[in-house]
Structure 1
Amino acid sequence: MSSAAFQIAALRFEEGRTPFLSARRVAEQLGVNLGELAGLIGVARNTLTAKTGARKVDAALSPVVRILSMASEMAGDEQRAAIWFKHQPIPGWAGKTAYDLVHDGKAEKVLSYLEAVRSGVYA
C-alpha cells in the first residue's frame, strides 16, 4: 500500500480534529473494548484516553491501522478485514491470527504476509 493510499485509508481512524489516530475507532472496527485494544498494542489502558499519550498511542496503533487498511483493500470490506484480523490463521504461523501476531509484537510479519499475498505470492 502506498503512503498516499495508506493516508486516505487511515482517515476513517482519525481522532476528530487532531492529527492522531482514534483508539476508540480502531476498537470499534475490531469489535473489542479499549482494554483489549490496549493489551493488543502493548500500552496501558489509561494511555489510550490520555492526551499526553497521543503520540505513543498513535505509534502503537499505526501498524494495526495499516494492517486493517490493507486487508480492507484486499477483502473489499472493512468488516471482512476485521473478521480476518481476529479469526483467520495465517499460514506458516502455527495457527496464529493477525491479532495474535500483533499481540506478540510481530505486526511487521503480518504486513509482509499481506504484501506477499497482494503481490501474487500464495502463502
Structure 2
Amino acid sequence: MAYAEKVDTVTVSGFVQSLQEPRTPYISPKRFSKALGVQVANLAQLTGVHRNTLRNPSSERVQGRLREIIKVITAAATLTGSIDKAIYWFRNEPIGDYDHKTAAELVAQGHSEAVLAYLRDLENGARG
C-alpha cells in the first residue's frame, strides 16, 4: 500500500454522508455499491447477505456489515490519502499476510477486524 498525505475528516465525513439513504438514517446499499463500483449482487456477497435483503436498508444486519466495510475503507484512506485509492486497495490489492486475499475477500469472510488490525500495523510502521 502506498502511503500518502493523510485524508482529512471532512473528506471521510463527506464520503459517509454520500452513502445515506435519502430521508433516513441508513446507509444506502445502492449508493454504496455504486461508490465501490460493484453490482448490488456483489455487494450482497461482500456483506454476506442475500441480495434481496439489501432491498431493506433498515435491516440491522445489512447496516452492521456496511458499517464494517466503511470502517475498513476509511482506515485505508488514512494511509492512502484518498477514498478512491482506499476503495481500489480494498477491492484489488492482495495482502501477503493473509494468503494474498484482498481486504474485500477477507471482509466478505467475516475478517474485518483482522484487516483493521493489519491497517493499524501499517500505520504504526509495519511493512506491508
Confirm or deny a common fold (TM above 0.5).
yes
TM-score, normalising length: structure 2: 0.81
Indicate the RMSD between aligned Cα atoms, in angstroms. Answer: 2.0
- Written as runs of structure 1 = structure 2, the 5 A alignment for 1:32-71 is 32-51=38-57, 53=59, 55-71=60-76
| Contact 1:10–1:66, Cα closer than 8 Å, also in 2 | no
Aligned position for 2:5: none
The runs of at least 4 consecutive aligned structure 1 residues that moved more than 6 Å come to none
Give the unaligned 5+ runs of structure 2. Answer: 1-8
Task: Kindly indicate whether the alpha-carbon contact (under 8 Å) linking 1:85 and 1:99 is maintained by their aligned counterparts in 2.
Answer: yes
1:1-123 to 2 correspondences below 5 Å: 8=13, 10-51=16-57, 53=59, 55-123=60-128
The percent identity for this pair of structures is 33
The one of the two structures with greater contact order (alpha-carbon pairs below 8 A, sep at least 6) is 2
> Which amino acid letter does the alignment assign opposite residue 65 of structure 1?
I
Normalising to structure 1: TM-score of the pair?
Answer: 0.84
Higher helix share: 1
Shift of 1:69: 1.3
**Contact persistence 1:10–1:69 (CA under 8 A):** no
**1:47-87 CA deviation, whole Å, 9 max, x = no partner?**
1112552x221111111011111112321222211110111
- Provide structure 1 residue ranges, at least 5 long, that are not aligned to the other structure: none
Q: Which amino acid aligns with 1:64?
A: I
8 Å Cα contact 1:87-1:97 kept in structure 2 = yes
Alignment length (residue pairs):
118
Displacement, 1:121? 2.2
